[in-house]
Amino acid sequence: MKNTFGNSVAITLFGESHGEYIGAVIDGMAPGIKIDRGYIEHMLTLRRPDGKISTPRKEKDEYRIVSGVIEDTTTGTPITTLIPNEDVKSGDYADMKTVARPSHADYTAECKYHGYQDSRGGGHFSGRITAALVAAGAICKFALEQKGIYIGTHVRRCAGISDREFDNLAADINALNSKTFAVLDNASGEKMREAILEAAADGDSVGGVLETAVIGMPEGVGEPWFDTVEGSLSHMLFSVPAVKGIEFGAGFALSDMRGSTANDPFLMQGDRVVTATNNNGGINGGITNGMPIIFRTVVKPTPTIFRQQKSVDFRTMTDSVLQATGRHDPAIVHRARVVQDAATAIALCDALAMRFGTDWLK
Amino acid sequence: MKNTFGNSVAITLFGESHGEYIGAVIDGMAPGIKIDRGYIEHMLTLRRPDGKISTPRKEKDEYRIVSGVIEDTTTGTPITTLIPNEDVKSGDYADMKTVARPSHADYTAECKYHGYQDSRGGGHFSGRITAALVAAGAICKFALEQKGIYIGTHVRRCAGISDREFDNLAADINALNSKTFAVLDNASGEKMREAILEAAADGDSVGGVLETAVIGMPEGVGEPWFDTVEGSLSHMLFSVPAVKGIEFGAGFALSDMRGSTANDPFLMQGDRVVTATNNNGGINGGITNGMPIIFRTVVKPTPTIFRQQKSVDFRTMTDSVLQATGRHDPAIVHRARVVQDAATAIALCDALAMRFGTDWLK
Amino acid sequence: MKNTFGNSVAITLFGESHGEYIGAVIDGMAPGIKIDRGYIEHMLTLRRPDGKISTPRKEKDEYRIVSGVIEDTTTGTPITTLIPNEDVKSGDYADMKTVARPSHADYTAECKYHGYQDSRGGGHFSGRITAALVAAGAICKFALEQKGIYIGTHVRRCAGISDREFDNLAADINALNSKTFAVLDNASGEKMREAILEAAADGDSVGGVLETAVIGMPEGVGEPWFDTVEGSLSHMLFSVPAVKGIEFGAGFALSDMRGSTANDPFLMQGDRVVTATNNNGGINGGITNGMPIIFRTVVKPTPTIFRQQKSVDFRTMTDSVLQATGRHDPAIVHRARVVQDAATAIALCDALAMRFGTDWLK
Amino acid sequence: MKNTFGNSVAITLFGESHGEYIGAVIDGMAPGIKIDRGYIEHMLTLRRPDGKISTPRKEKDEYRIVSGVIEDTTTGTPITTLIPNEDVKSGDYADMKTVARPSHADYTAECKYHGYQDSRGGGHFSGRITAALVAAGAICKFALEQKGIYIGTHVRRCAGISDREFDNLAADINALNSKTFAVLDNASGEKMREAILEAAADGDSVGGVLETAVIGMPEGVGEPWFDTVEGSLSHMLFSVPAVKGIEFGAGFALSDMRGSTANDPFLMQGDRVVTATNNNGGINGGITNGMPIIFRTVVKPTPTIFRQQKSVDFRTMTDSVLQATGRHDPAIVHRARVVQDAATAIALCDALAMRFGTDWLK
């Protein structure tokens, strides 16, 4: 289904970096869900470029909800958000049109769209489109919170610097959701910011790792094959631009563990079944076990850098050299974090609606 | 769609470990594709338990193709494979029924199926089901080879021991496909086998990392959002039991790189566009760029071990202790490798059919 | 998704008329549903050829359930039914292979499958495949009855003879489900049977109209656009071979009515909202209103007749003449009726599971 | 997928009668397709209320394409059309809010959306939404014409008056596409208009039958089960508001035919296989045979009439009486005709893209 994701709650994304609008349609959200405009704006603010460590492109993200909501309450029919593009300077990108930016989608877009693609500012591949994903996801994330399900993401690692691990999840998630630069340890965050600025000064960029925790998910959600919770979340999360890997629970570290260490023993906590450890990230056999869902994604360094790079002109099919100009982020991992929150919220709403029906929020 | 995956080429899996049959339906494969019975049997052999380092359960995997094929050629209509279950000893698992095996799906199955699940030998969650996935995937993999697309997977790491990296992909893939224990460096493989036996002697188990390479994929396949090649492959691959993470190209290592190192410069090689490095694993913006697709998955240690483990009885809701008996694998990573090949082949056939239509093989 | 239908409860069909097995996988049925073997066998019996007015092909339909059911109770994982093909006489169809049977799928199969299709007895297009649909649908239909939802179909018209209209729906449905030749008025049925025999004596065939009623459906099921109840049911029902039309409620007769007559006035019946008439067949705006769902399909005359017909040889691309031999039904409308019941049951289970979640039967 | 339809080419509809915008996203259209603005506007004009025989609501339908198109050429990424709502008089509908309009979706919306639905002017159920479907379908229809595939629909019957049958399809389709009131015989059309005015004068409404012809479709498109061409088209067409039935080829008339008459004999016409008659409407076994696709839908009389009707207040759950005021159409069949063209075009683009790949238009 390409630009649509989901079976019961589904999102359709549209728009280009330099088009008139970007937007999203969320279909299948239950009726009667409150829309908190401040909440959506706050999430959009967290995604927006942030002064020195981001592109100077100014985006007001004046989103509007043009269907599916009356008096800040969902009607149950498709919710459409529109965000107008402003502050567009097409000229900056003019000479990039046929020399492929390495590790960008310029060349693959040419292969797929035969030259008809909108190449201005990345077109439909632009990270800009994630603003629409965030607005849609904010509605889903707020709805989940009404059911006691909370999502938080921090920059677990950036430019070789690590944040502390999750500790008290409820408190940590709460703290993260108000932070512009989402780290649990502010000192680590300060070092990351310095490293980003250093890379920027070198005309270079850095990557990182995002770690997400979800608490409050009921057990018994997900499927044994194909529509596993890991499979559904990963399908969604590889749409967060620059994500090139995902791991659940202990993830790749499981490869060096033995079963006796890796296994999560069950135990009773009052009348609830819990696990003593959570190396499986809250998912067994593709299905939630009631423990927190924990996963990490890797965000590659922003591909656009201000250094000369070898490339090809894909129209003349000759070797060429690229010197980027314009506005770009030396890092996007700290901005991608709220996109990850949003994407996670949408995928979980779908999984819950499939499990409990379209009135699952009641 | 739960137990069905795919839009144009789709697979539906069915069966339980101790049921009469396991099987798969592959719908949408082009007509006129040759079926090589020896090829399928070879892949099933690679999945089968292997003497000392695997469960002693004997599986003959007498698969039959009962629809969609005439005179070893696909008709274009659904292909159904059936594999009868044999050598079934239900008794071994009898006392596991209500004490959840840690890191298995026993407890989550109870949450989802309310006690009606088939708990014998893992039921529908059993790794046994992957035999049907392998038979189906073998048909797809052989078809891809007719188009010059080759897939190979090796045990990149197991029990803390690493295999060498891919070097000459065509030669390496060719070599891997005839090996029972798929490593590129036999000496490393020997050490892995020793480590597996050592863990088995301790009543324990080990995990590992699988690395897959795909060569010959045409450029321009995949979608910018949601149905990215990474998203589709990961959705599929989290169905390989015990997989808890996936990374493409340089994967999580990208988090510590700078853009100037991580970016893959384009260059002309004759009349083809290639990249000098392949840190993006053959995919830019969700779409293939014609370079090899490279990814790694992590396979957690086999959860069933012969040590006493803390757990709960999920019927009485009390703490309990589990002592496993029966037949189990001290490692499955070396068997999962062919499941990964098969799963990859199915997902790529679907992506190719979506891109080029149902006659894409012609 | 081609040979798979459904979003939450999905059916995948496979097999060919002269292959080893035909079968179906039903995925997503709730756990804990009773399977009544006698019920399934009864429905298979109703579909089977019936002496003089049907093909003399003998089908024992020795169906087996090979996954998803333990102790005649669903586990919640995919249910697979297998029906072996017996009494197969391939020779009868040998000379039909390249001369297209008019109004059959021989020529379109050639166009789509390029000569690789299984042409023996209609292959995957054979009405024989509906035995698998019936076995799967019987499980769904029985499940619906546990929730008070009942489905019944009668031969509303055949060979120009009409059955009486539905009257007391509960009683009529109950009566129909035990009848081999499903009419409400036995005298009309007798005339239909005579007309069928008369056509058979002429080497000819007849068609008819099937009318289905569903009682007990809850209100509020279905979607306003695309996944309307009419849209979902019709998508499914055009898979009943020979169906060429469907109409809901008053159907095509609405074209000559005025709104003042066609509209169904609402009124209170105790504490329930009902409609005084049911010209909309229980569906308003694509969504059930709690009234009986009523629809009719037209089943074209069996295309295989024993008269010489003009046709073409699609291999030599020359005009030709066809003289059918072998075993064929002079009418299938009376057999298709139980296929329609089954198909309806599957589509409604899916709609209910989407609305109320995977535990909708509880 | 609810408000999304299609597998490769997909449409998502959004908006409400009295909301800010209605619109549609069309995903998966091939790149490089010309957009003819005049063509889209013409189709929107044909849908618009038409003087005396329609609602006096004025809709300018100032549609905008806000993504997926550059310089009037598709880019290959999602195309979004927006149509602002104007001339909105909410007050007219105020007292309809809790007394259900018979045969409208007011009551079923209440059942599904629990009172949160937008009830102004029918909300998301309003025929108004079809303007977005028409704009999207116009793009698809124009694209099909570039491949030699033409679609035309006429009012086959209205208020008991019949139009003449299709004769020369190419000429008839061409003539229809420029007519505001689409009949093949203008005299019949004049009588229909008079009958509509007569019903309007009585405060009543009328229905009709729409007949659609598609010429130029290649053979071999569609699937044998579930995704038959009939199944896909009908799934789509029941989204045209007020449609309650659909029949292909000879349709319900097949019930009274014998096989010897109903069968369509094949014959060679030059080097093409054609059929002498077309009682199957261009589809055999769910797959196109290269002959024109012919189908008819029934459009029920507009449910809103200016006569007092019995109904219930679904909030107080009491019997009530409804007296409609405001603006309404005494017939919509003549406006629905262009919606049917549009819906057909979208469904066929999807079927063609599934068969021939995303570059099917080249």
Count interface pairs B-D at CB distance under 8 A: 25
Chain B adjacent subunits, 3+ CB pairs under 8 A = A, C, D
Report chain D residues touching chain B, CB-CB < 8 A.
Answer: 7-8, 77, 224, 353-360
Judge whether residue A322 has pLDDT over 50: yes
H/E stretch holding B339: helix B333-356
Beta-bridged to residue C284, according to DSSP, are C287
Q: Inter-axis angle of helices C333-356 and C37-47, to 10 degrees?
A: 140
For residue D355, which of A7, C226, C2 has the smallest C-alpha distance?
C2
For residue D179, which of D45, D330, D37 has the smallest C-alpha distance?
D45
Q: What is the mean pLDDT of residues B308-324?
A: 94
* Residues 6 or more apart whose Cβ sits within 8 Å of residue B111: A219, A220, A287, A288, A289, A290
> Coil, helix or strand for C247?
strand
Band the pLDDT of C314: cuts 50, 70, 90. very high
For residue D83, which of D16, D153, D122, D132 has the smallest C-alpha distance?
D132
Are the C-beta atoms of residues D202 and D141 closer than 8 Å to each other?
no
Q: Please indicate whether, in this complex, the C-beta atoms of B238 and A231 are within 8 angstroms of each other.
A: yes
Evaluate whether residue B181 is within a structural domain: yes
What percentage of chain C has pLDDT greater than the value 70?
94
pLDDT of residue C86: 79
pLDDT of residue B324: 83
Evaluate whether residue C177 is within a structural domain: yes
Sheet with C79-84: list strands edge to edge: C4-5, C10-15, C21-27, C79-84, C64-67
Q: Please indicate whether, in this complex, the C-beta atoms of B66 and C10 are within 8 angstroms of each other.
A: no
Give the largest CA-CA distance in chain B: 69
Judge whether residue C6 has pLDDT over 80: yes
- Shortest Cα distance, chain B CAs vs residue A71, angstroms: 31
Judge whether residue A55 has pLDDT over 80: no
Residue in the structure block whose two tokens are 């590889």: A238
Q: Please indicate whether, in this complex, the C-beta atoms of D114 and A77 are within 8 angstroms of each other.
A: no
Mean pLDDT per 10-residue section of chain D, whose length is 362 residues: 92 95 96 96 89 63 92 96 79 64 96 92 92 97 97 97 98 95 97 96 97 98 97 97 97 98 98 98 98 98 95 95 85 96 98 94 78
Q: Please indicate whether, in this complex, the C-beta atoms of A1 and D10 are within 8 angstroms of each other.
A: yes
DSSP structure class, residue D164: P
* Residues 6 or more apart whose Cβ sits within 8 Å of residue A301: A204, A205, A206, A207, A331, B254, B257, B258, B259, B262, B263
Evaluate whether residue A361 is within a structural domain: no
For residue A40, which of A69, A12, A4, A20 has the smallest C-alpha distance?
A69
Q: What is the mean pLDDT of residues A214-224?
A: 98
Judge whether residue C113 has pLDDT over 90: yes
Q: What is the mean pLDDT of residues B297-317?
A: 95
Q: Please indicate whether, in this complex, the C-beta atoms of D124 and A77 are within 8 angstroms of each other.
A: yes
Count interface pairs A-C at CB distance under 8 A: 25
Q: Please indicate whether, in this complex, the C-beta atoms of A354 and C355 are within 8 angstroms of each other.
A: no
Q: Please indicate whether, in this complex, the C-beta atoms of A8 and C354 are within 8 angstroms of each other.
A: yes
Q: Please indicate whether, in this complex, the C-beta atoms of A360 and C355 are within 8 angstroms of each other.
A: no
Judge whether residue B91 has pLDDT over 60: no
What does the alpha-carbon distance between residue D320 and residue D309 come to, in Å, rounded to a whole number? 9
- Shortest Cα distance, chain D CAs vs residue C291, angstroms: 11
Q: For an interface test with A, give the residue of D12, D26, D106, D111 to mutate (most A CBs within 10 A).
A: D12
pLDDT of residue C42: 95
What does the alpha-carbon distance between residue D334 and residue D301 come to, in Å, rounded to a whole number? 12
Chain D adjacent subunits, 3+ CB pairs under 8 A = A, B, C
B236: containing domain? 4-356
Residue D113: which of A2, A23, A31 has the nearest Cβ?
Answer: A31
Evaluate whether residue A70 is within a structural domain: yes
Residue C14: which of B22, B67, B114 has the nearest Cβ?
Answer: B67
Residue A12: which of D12, D15, D70 has the nearest Cβ?
Answer: D12
What does the alpha-carbon distance between residue A327 and residue A51 come to, in Å, rounded to a whole number? 12
Beta-bridged to residue B14, according to DSSP, are B23
pLDDT of residue A95: 46
pLDDT of residue C137: 98
Name the E strands within B125-193: 150-158, 161-162
Judge whether residue A92 has pLDDT over 70: no
Beta-bridged to residue C161, according to DSSP, are C158
What does the alpha-carbon distance between residue C240 and residue C133 come to, in Å, rounded to a whole number? 9
Evaluate whether residue D361 is within a structural domain: no
Residue B357: which of D77, D224, D355 has the nearest Cβ?
Answer: D355
> In C110-144, which positions are buried (b, 16+ CB within 10 angstroms) versus exposed (e)?
bbbbeebbbbbbbbbbbbbbbbbbbbbbbbbbbbb
Count interface pairs A-D at CB distance under 8 A: 175
- Shortest Cα distance, chain C CAs vs residue A284, angstroms: 16
Q: Please indicate whether, in this complex, the C-beta atoms of D8 and B354 are within 8 angstroms of each other.
A: yes
Are the C-beta atoms of residues B96 and B324 closer than 8 Å to each other?
yes
Q: Please indicate whether, in this complex, the C-beta atoms of A116 and D76 are within 8 angstroms of each other.
A: yes
Q: Inter-axis angle of helices C130-146 and C333-356, to 10 degrees?
A: 50
pLDDT of residue C58: 60
Which residues of C are less than 8 Å from A357 in CB distance?
353-357, 360
Residue C77: which of B75, B114, B124 has the nearest Cβ?
Answer: B124
CA A323 to chain centre: 29
What does the alpha-carbon distance between residue A40 and residue A58 come to, in Å, rounded to a whole number? 18
Residues in chain A: 362
Dihedral of CA B83/B87/B91/B94: which sign? negative
CA C24 to chain centre: 15
pLDDT tens-digit series, residues A264-298: 999 999 999 999 999 999 999 999 999 999 999 99
Q: Please indicate whether, in this complex, the C-beta atoms of A227 and B312 are within 8 angstroms of each other.
A: no
What does the alpha-carbon distance between residue A4 and residue C136 come to, in Å, rounded to a whole number? 30
The tally of domains found in chain B comes to 1
Q: Inter-axis angle of helices A333-356 and A37-47, to 10 degrees?
A: 140
Give the largest CA-CA distance in chain D: 69
Give the largest CA-CA distance in chain C: 69
Q: What is the ipTM of this complex?
A: 0.96
Judge whether residue B92 has pLDDT over 60: no
Which residues of A are less than 8 Å from C77 in CB distance?
224
pLDDT of residue B361: 80
H/E stretch holding C229: helix C229-237
Residue in the structure block whose two tokens are 């289970």: C349
3-state SS of chain C is CCCEECCCCEEEEEECCCCCEEEEEEECCCCCCECCHHHHHHHHHHHCCCHHHCCCCCCCCCCEEEECEECCEECCCCEEEEEECCCCCHHHHHHHCCECCCCCCHHHHHHHHCCCCCCHHHHHHCHHHHHHHHHHHHHHHHHHHHCCCEEEEEEEEECCEECCCCCCHHHHHHHHCCCCCCCCCHHHHHHHHHHHHHHHHCCCCECEEEEEEEECCCCCCCCCCCCCHHHHHHHHHCCCCCEEEEEECCHHHHHHCEHHHHCCCEEEECCEEEECCCCCCCEECCEECCCCEEEEEEECCCCCCCCCEEEEECCCCEEEEECCCCCCCCCCHHHHHHHHHHHHHHHHHHHHHHHHCCCCCC
pLDDT of residue C88: 65
Judge whether residue C96 has pLDDT over 80: no
Mean pLDDT, chain A, rounded, equals: 93
Residues in chain C: 362
Which residues of C are less than 8 Å from D103 in CB distance?
259, 262-264, 279-280, 284
Residue of C nearest to D263 (CA): C103
Q: Are strands A150-158 and A208-215 parallel, antiparallel or unpaired?
A: antiparallel
Phi, psi of D247 (to 5 degrees): -140, 145
- Shortest Cα distance, chain C CAs vs residue D201, angstroms: 13
Judge whether residue C326 has pLDDT over 80: no
For residue D256, which of A51, A16, B175, C199 has the smallest C-alpha distance?
C199
Which residues of B are less than 8 Å from C7 in CB distance?
1
- Shortest Cα distance, chain C CAs vs residue D52, angstroms: 18
The neighbour count for residue D362, using CB atoms within 10 Å, is 11
> Coil, helix or strand for C319?
strand
Judge whether residue B93 has pLDDT over 70: no
Q: Please indicate whether, in this complex, the C-beta atoms of D77 and A28 are within 8 angstroms of each other.
A: no
Which residues of B are less than 8 Å from C114 in CB distance?
31-32, 76, 359
Evaluate whether residue C362 is within a structural domain: no
Phi, psi of D107 (to 5 degrees): -75, -45
pLDDT of residue A210: 98
| Torsion of Cα atoms, A30 then A32 then A37 then A40, to 10° | -20
pLDDT tens-digit series, residues C35-58: 999 999 999 999 987 666 766 556
Which residues of D are less than 8 Å from A25 in CB distance?
3, 12, 14, 25
pLDDT of residue D95: 46
What does the alpha-carbon distance between residue B197 and residue B63 come to, in Å, rounded to a whole number? 30
pLDDT of residue B55: 65
Q: Specify burial of residue C97 (Cβ count, 10 A radius: 0-12, 13-18, 19+).
A: middle
Residue B103: which of A223, A251, A284 has the nearest Cβ?
Answer: A284
> Residue type at C359?
D
Q: Please indicate whether, in this complex, the C-beta atoms of B356 and D360 are within 8 angstroms of each other.
A: no
Are the C-beta atoms of residues A32 and D114 closer than 8 Å to each other?
yes
Residue C31: which of B13, B76, B113 has the nearest Cβ?
Answer: B113
Which residues of C are less than 8 Å from A359 in CB distance?
356
- Shortest Cα distance, chain C CAs vs residue B4, angstroms: 8
pLDDT of residue C120: 87
Are the C-beta atoms of residues B109 and B125 closer than 8 Å to each other?
yes
CA distances for C209 relative to B328, C155, D106, angstroms: 58, 6, 32
Judge whether residue C297 has pLDDT over 90: yes
Q: Please indicate whether, in this complex, the C-beta atoms of D75 and A22 are within 8 angstroms of each other.
A: no
> Coil, helix or strand for D266?
strand
Give the largest CA-CA distance in chain A: 69
Counts of helices then strands in chain A (DSSP H, E): 8, 18
Are the C-beta atoms of residues D138 and D44 closer than 8 Å to each other?
yes
| Torsion of Cα atoms, A192 then A198 then A203 then A209, to 10° | -20
Are the C-beta atoms of residues D346 and D12 closer than 8 Å to each other?
no
pLDDT of residue C60: 65
For residue A340, which of A138, A175, A52 has the smallest C-alpha distance?
A138
Evaluate whether residue C164 is within a structural domain: yes
Q: What is the mean pLDDT of residues B41-70?
A: 81
Judge whether residue B89 has pLDDT over 60: no
What does the alpha-carbon distance between residue D324 and residue A206 come to, in Å, rounded to a whole number? 65
Q: Please indicate whether, in this complex, the C-beta atoms of C67 and B16 are within 8 angstroms of each other.
A: yes
Residue in the structure block whose two tokens are 């512009």: A180
Residue in the structure block whose two tokens are 């708990």: B119
Which residues of C are less than 8 Å from A224 in CB distance?
77
We report the CATH number of the domain holding residue B266 as 3.60.150.10
Residue in the structure block whose two tokens are 């299984």: C118
Phi, psi of D158 (to 5 degrees): -155, 130
What percentage of chain B has pLDDT greater than the value 90?
88
